Amino acid sequence: MTGIGAVHRDSRTMLVAGLAGLVAGACSMATGEFVSVCSQRDIQLAQLDREAQYEERKRREVPGPAQAALASALAFAVGALVPLLGAAFVEPYGLRIGLVVGSASLALVGFGWLGAVLGGSPVVRSSVRVLVGGWFAMAVTYGVIKGVGTTTAGI
């Protein structure tokens, strides 16, 4: 949404692009996660076969690709909804961009915290890493789209 906001000031364009990005991103994340977990699962099952560890408990611990894909798609959609809903109700351009960045930042910190708690890793380090990574992605997206939009505006 920050990329579209760099070249289009109207909220409708920003919201349509945000919704399209939400759907496309969720599908992309789910597909990538499904493929990744399938590959990981194949490796783990082959290793279990080689080690002859067919215990039912071990088999249940192997991650399911469909569950991972669904979780990834859901996480992306929830994260994308935060700035999308914020932008839906604000018309002034500058305020809308600020709200998108601010609400996305809160979501990033929240997801960093949740990942740290679920993974048993340091909360502050994880939250900061996710936040800074998100800021970097937003800044690059905004800058590239703004640059391309500015240079192609006269075409």
Task: Sketch the domain layout of the chain as residue ranges.
Answer: 2-152
User: pLDDT of 109-153, one tens digit each?
Assistant: 998 898 888 878 888 988 999 899 889 988 888 887 777 766 555
3-state helix, strand, coil in the chain (%, to 5): 85, 0, 15
DSSP string, 87-111: HHT--SHHHHHHHHHHHHHHHHHHH
Q: Which residues make Cβ contacts (< 8 Å) with residue 65, sequence separation at least 6?
A: 33, 34, 35, 37, 38, 41
pTM value?
Answer: 0.63
Q: What is the pLDDT of residue 155?
A: 46
